[in-house]
Amino acid sequence: MTFSDLGLSADLLRAIDAQGYTTPTPIQRQAIPAVLQGGDLLASAQTGTGKTAGFTLPMLQRLSGGQRPAKRGVRALVLTPTRELAAQVGESVRDYGRHLPLTSHVIFGGVGQQPQVDAIRPGLDILVATPGRLLDLHQQGHVDLSRVEILVLDEADRMLDMGFIHDIKKVLKLLPEKRQNLLFSATFSNEIQALANKLLDAPTLIEVARRNTTAETVDQAIYRVDREKKRDLLAHLISAHRWYQVLVFTRTKHGANRLAEHLGKQDIPAMAIHGNKSQSARTRALSAFKSGELQVLVATDIAARGLDIDELPHVVNFELPNVAEDYVHRIGRTGRAGNDGQAVSLVCVDEHGLLRNIERLIKRDLEKHIEPGFEPDPNAKPEPIENGRGNRGGGRGRNGGGGGKPQQAQGGRGSDDGQRPSRRRRRGGQGRQQA
């Protein structure tokens, strides 16, 4: 099957060809015809399988035949959880819609609002937004959502994880009742099902892969190591194996900063990206990493959302996530678009319980390694895991985290779109690190 078999217009096919794509992915083969028919959609696929094009292409085609928006009006609204994902979706809209007479813009927090207001004022066919900045601009009278024809919730599972459910409900009240709703998610959690039941009307259901499965194209391995030796082991692995374009996940913002600084001292170009960084700094780091100028990007989970590199070869879990599902999301950054990838996790004694949870979730035992010169101390005792801003366990929570039962994080919603704090949603009694 080719994209021309999916009923897309010649203008869209020209844009697709310019991007170098010839064969639609499974999610695209199913989602594009469904969206073109005009009904609601609930779609789930593994990270890196082409969900963005799965809704962007048919959305552009549906809008291209309609009327232009009224002043300050918006015809299609795409909600995303983070700035980086919003920028990525906005880029896809521009790339695929280059031959269509449609207008679009991206808005998010962390930057000045006036350029965004100026872009919205004449009216837009497509607005890509994070929830907080969207609500702020609406309350100031800059955004009219009363004419929205298509609503897309992208990475809906992450939006719920970040505590955006109340903002989503506020946005829904601003939209017309008659519209097309498209909900895309990496997983079909119980919370996603509940949201879909309230939002969607007799939706087409697409599930390309089983829930919480990892791609076969990703080679997964565990390196056992003491927490104090993690930084040196990572530097050793990168240098010894000549890894390039390495995406490294840490649990906290402070940990990301320290690790990037340590790698720099080892002559390994590295930068950290998280919610405390300015938007310009995050944009520069992502651009350098995508272009290959930057060897290592150290990120927290939320900041890495929206990082889309088809041929990213290496992902490293410097610290295992507190929530097992996040492991699937993390390693899904590599092995994309049918390419091979490698996911390495550095695991100290503090994280043995987290590792068991991950293996139970993905229903497989991961291969364990010990690197010569970095053998872990068999008598090492676990310590409480440092988890974001709050660490009620009182442990030191050093390099590799802590031990035993993960502690609940405290505080407000992450700052990725720079908006009002709200109470964080918790799943399974475990808090989530905010980027």
Beta-carbon contacts of residue 4 (< 8 Å; ≥ 6 apart): 13
State whether 47 and 169 are in the same domain: yes
Percentage of residues in the chain having pLDDT higher than 70 = 82
Domain boundary among 207, 238, 256: 207
Q: Which of 307, 293, 295 is nearest to 238 (CA)?
A: 295
Number of C-beta neighbours around residue 153 at 10 A: 30
Could you read off the pLDDT of 419-428 as tens digits, one per residue?
A: 444 433 333 3
Mean pLDDT of 393-403: 35
Report the length, in residues, of the chain: 435
Pairwise CA distance, residues 127 & 120, whole Å = 8
Confidence of residue 160 (pLDDT cuts 50, 70, 90): confident
Q: What backbone phi and psi angles, to 5 degrees, belong to 62?
A: -65, -40
Largest pairwise CA distance in the chain:
70
User: Does the pLDDT at position 152 exceed 80?
Assistant: yes
State whether 172 and 216 are in the same domain: no
Mean pLDDT of 38-59: 87
Tokens 């292409």 correspond to 57
Question: What is the three-class DSSP state of 264?
Answer: helix
Question: What is the three-class DSSP state of 114?
Answer: helix
Could you read off the pLDDT of 317-329 as tens digits, one per residue?
A: 999 998 888 888 7
User: Does the pLDDT at position 355 exceed 60?
Assistant: yes
Q: What's the order of all strands across the beta sheet hosting 296-299? A: 270-273, 296-299, 246-249, 314-317, 341-347, 218-224, 367-369
State whether 201 and 318 are in the same domain: no
Domain boundary among 207, 225, 242: 207
Domain boundary among 180, 207, 234: 207
Could you read off the pLDDT of 269-297 as tens digits, one per residue?
A: 999 988 778 777 888 888 888 888 899 99
Q: Using an 8 Å Cβ cutoff, are 386 and 252 in contact?
A: yes
Query: What confidence score (pLDDT) does residue 418 get?
Result: 39
State whether 241 and 321 are in the same domain: yes
Query: What confidence score (pLDDT) does residue 331 get?
Result: 83
State whether 73 and 137 are in the same domain: yes
Q: What backbone phi and psi angles, to 5 degrees, belong to 428?
A: 65, 25
Query: What confidence score (pLDDT) does residue 415 get?
Result: 42
Q: Using an 8 Å Cβ cutoff, are 366 and 411 in contact?
A: no
Pairwise CA distance, residues 372 & 163, whole Å = 43
User: Does the pLDDT at position 398 exceed 50?
Assistant: no
User: Does the pLDDT at position 173 exceed 70?
Assistant: yes
Query: What confidence score (pLDDT) does residue 212 get?
Result: 53
State whether 155 and 234 are in the same domain: no
Question: What is the three-class DSSP state of 429?
Answer: coil
User: Does the pLDDT at position 417 exceed 70?
Assistant: no
Amino acid present at 95: D
Confidence of residue 308 (pLDDT cuts 50, 70, 90): low
Q: Tell which wins on pLDDT, 372 or 386.
A: 372
Q: What are the angstrom distances between the C-alpha of 75 and each of 49, 60, 213? A: 26, 11, 35
State whether 163 and 297 are in the same domain: no
State whether 111 and 138 are in the same domain: yes
Mean pLDDT lowest among 77-86, 218-227, 327-336: 327-336
Q: Which of 177, 162, 197 is nearest to 79 (CA)?
A: 162
- The CATH number of residue 170's host domain is 3.40.50.300
State whether 250 and 345 are in the same domain: yes
State whether 189 and 309 are in the same domain: no
State whether 229 and 189 are in the same domain: no
Beta-carbon contacts of residue 216 (< 8 Å; ≥ 6 apart): none
User: Does the pLDDT at position 93 exceed 80?
Assistant: yes
Could you read off the pLDDT of 214-245 as tens digits, one per residue?
A: 566 788 999 999 999 999 999 999 999 999 89
Number of C-beta neighbours around residue 40 at 10 A: 20
| Domain, as residue range, for 351 | 212-435
Structurally, the chain folds into a number of domains equal to: 2
State whether 237 and 374 are in the same domain: yes
Q: Which of 181, 152, 139, 13 is nearest to 85 (CA)?
A: 152
pLDDT averaged over every residue in the chain: 83
- pTM value is 0.65
Pairwise CA distance, residues 146 & 94, whole Å = 24
